[in-house]
């Protein structure tokens, strides 16, 4: 009888171990692959295991979307006023995260299990429910994009056209992310078709930005022509099309400059005071959209050298900040 006790204890241990659910090893008869996406997580706590399981499902979507980043690259370049890789990477991360977070709202943790101080969790996503949800989301985005494109083509206001196209591209990025998830959920590897594409929308926006949208520059006062030439060079270098024919544009950079000798006795240096006042104006409605104002004093051994220092200060500040104002207006939201 005594000899059988260790055997009974071992049998009980093995029986408990045998009760570990099959999904711990990656498959589940209750949640078959053709109907559910599953993720198994583990952790030192139940909450940790739950979070880990959800993360496993999220990883499937993020990996797939990341593999199609080349589809988004051109659109993100056009949406970024500088084309900076950091800006584009951040934008892509935001698009991916926003879409994936929305999809993961449908994930539930169906089961948990603890063994040997380690917690396990099974997260599941119902393919049919998520397919229907994604279809509705994609359809809504298609409707919004379509309305924006129609509005962009109907308006004669180039600024509003740019903003409508930019918004349409942003929504199309969301649409493409959701479409990638749809392809995963349905196991077909193919998303829902659409008449509009990222390529066509970015092509329209590029044409507007780099061909049809014109910046005019008008400067009066001291050293006007020198400052105007510097502004034209700076804005052109920032990617804008600047009118040099005098015919005008869609936006006007207009400013006045004064550089005068300062009445300041000094046995060594000659000083000048300078002031510049520039505004960014919408030609269509004459609305002021931004401004760059500067003033100061510069000194040097001769009046000519002092004036040159003042001129350099005006050009550096005005050219750089006006390019930023233009970029913020054209590429920014809500202006």
- pLDDT tens for each residue of 187-230: 777 889 988 888 888 888 888 877 788 899 999 999 999 999 99
Specify the pLDDT at position 78: 61
- 80 within 8 A of 331, measured Cβ to Cβ: yes
pLDDT tier for residue 130 given thresholds of 50, 70 and 90: very high
Specify the pLDDT at position 54: 93
Residues with Cβ < 8 Å from 55, sequence gap 6 or more?
39, 41
Q: Does 231 lie in the same domain as 323?
A: yes
The residue among 89, 112, 127 that closes a domain is 127
| Phi, psi dihedrals of residue 234, rounded to the nearest 5° | -65, -45
Q: Does 202 lie in the same domain as 220?
A: no
Flag whether 3 is in a domain.
no
Q: Does 103 lie in the same domain as 27?
A: yes
Q: Does 92 lie in the same domain as 49?
A: yes
- 309 within 8 A of 296, measured Cβ to Cβ: no
Helix H or strand E segment including 176: helix 158-185
Is the predicted pLDDT of residue 113 greater than 70, yes or no? yes
Neighbours of 216 (CB within 10 A): 20
The residue among 127, 158, 190 that closes a domain is 127
Flag whether 92 is in a domain.
yes
Q: Does 122 lie in the same domain as 133?
A: no
- Minimal CA–CA distance to 255: which of 230, 279, 235? 279
d(CA 244, CA 214) in angstroms, rounded, equals 10
pLDDT tier for residue 102 given thresholds of 50, 70 and 90: confident
Q: Does 66 lie in the same domain as 98?
A: yes
Flag whether 6 is in a domain.
no
Flag whether 173 is in a domain.
yes
Specify the pLDDT at position 134: 92
- pLDDT tens for each residue of 34-74: 999 999 999 999 999 999 999 999 888 877 776 665 556 66
pLDDT tier for residue 76 given thresholds of 50, 70 and 90: low
Edge to edge, the sheet with strand 36-43 lists 36-43, 118-126, 108-115
Written as six digits, the tokens of 178 are 């959701």
d(CA 25, CA 33) in angstroms, rounded, equals 14
**Mean of the per-residue pLDDT values for the chain?**
83
pLDDT tier for residue 9 given thresholds of 50, 70 and 90: very low
Flag whether 247 is in a domain.
yes
* Mean pLDDT in residue range 93-111: 81
pLDDT tier for residue 79 given thresholds of 50, 70 and 90: low
Domain that holds residue 54: 12-127
Is the predicted pLDDT of residue 92 greater than 80, yes or no? no
pTM of the model: 0.70
Flag whether 292 is in a domain.
yes
Q: Does 220 lie in the same domain as 296?
A: yes
Q: Does 203 lie in the same domain as 220?
A: no
Flag whether 2 is in a domain.
no
- Minimal CA–CA distance to 208: which of 142, 157, 145? 157
Is the predicted pLDDT of residue 125 greater than 90, yes or no? yes
Specify the pLDDT at position 12: 44
Q: Does 257 lie in the same domain as 161?
A: no
Q: Does 20 lie in the same domain as 104?
A: yes
Specify the pLDDT at position 15: 45
Please indicate whether residue 76 or residue 322 has the higher confidence score (pLDDT).
322
Specify the pLDDT at position 190: 80
Residue 286 is part of a domain; what is its CATH number? 3.30.160.150
Written as six digits, the tokens of 268 are 């060594």
Is the predicted pLDDT of residue 85 greater than 60, yes or no? no
Please indicate whether residue 220 or residue 9 has the higher confidence score (pLDDT).
220
- For the chain, how big is the Rg over CA atoms in Å? 31
Question: Which of these ranges, 193-202, 257-266, 274-283, 293-302, has the smallest mean pLDDT?
Answer: 193-202
Residues with Cβ < 8 Å from 37, sequence gap 6 or more?
57, 60, 124, 125, 127, 130, 184, 185
Please give the share of the chain, as a percent, with pLDDT higher than 90.
43
Q: Does 169 lie in the same domain as 73?
A: no
Edge to edge, the sheet with strand 288-300 lists 241-242, 214-221, 251-261, 270-282, 288-300
Flag whether 146 is in a domain.
yes
Q: Does 325 lie in the same domain as 266?
A: yes
Residue 69 is part of a domain; what is its CATH number? 3.10.28.20
Total domain count, the chain: 3
The residue among 210, 244, 264 that closes a domain is 210
């Amino acid at each position: 009888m005594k000899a059988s006790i260790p055997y009974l204890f071992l049998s009980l241990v093995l029986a408990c171990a045998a009760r570990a659910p099959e999904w711990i090893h990656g498959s589940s008869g209750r949640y078959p692959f053709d109907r559910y996406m599953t993720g198994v997580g583990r952790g030192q706590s139940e909450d940790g295991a739950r979070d880990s399981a959800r993360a496993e499902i999220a990883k499937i979507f993020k990996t797939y979307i990341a593999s199609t980043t080349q589809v988004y690259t051109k659109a993100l370049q056009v949406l970024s006023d500088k084309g900076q890789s950091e800006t584009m990477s951040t934008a892509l991360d935001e698009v991916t995260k926003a879409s994936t977070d929305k999809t993961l709202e449908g994930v539930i943790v169906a089961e948990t299990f603890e063994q040997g101080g380690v917690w396990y969790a099974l997260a599941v996503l119902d393919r049919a429910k998520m397919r229907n949800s994604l279809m509705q989301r994609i359809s809504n985005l298609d409707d919004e994009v379509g309305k924006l494109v129609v509005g962009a083509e109907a308006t004669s206001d180039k600024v509003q056209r740019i903003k409508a196209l930019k918004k349409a591209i942003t929504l199309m990025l969301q649409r493409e992310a959701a479409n990638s998830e749809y392809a995963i959920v349905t196991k077909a590897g193919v998303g829902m078709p659409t008449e509009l594409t990222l390529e066509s929308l970015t092509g329209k926006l590029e044409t507007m930005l780099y061909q049809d949208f014109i910046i005019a520059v008008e400067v009066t006062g001291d050293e006007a022509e020198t400052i105007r030439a510097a502004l034209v060079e700076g804005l052109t270098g920032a990617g804008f099309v600047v009118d040099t024919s005098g015919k005008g544009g869609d936006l006007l950079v207009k400013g006045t400059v004064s550089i005068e000798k300062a009445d300041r006795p000094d046995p060594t240096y000659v000083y000048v005071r300078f002031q510049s006042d520039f505004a960014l104006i919408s030609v269509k409605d004459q609305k002021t959209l931004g401004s760059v104002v500067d003033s100061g004093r510069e000194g040097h051994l001769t009046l000519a050298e002092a004036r040159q220092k003042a001129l350099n200060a005006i050009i550096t500040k005005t050219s750089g900040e006006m390019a930023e104002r233009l970029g913020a207006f054209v590429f920014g939201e809500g202006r």
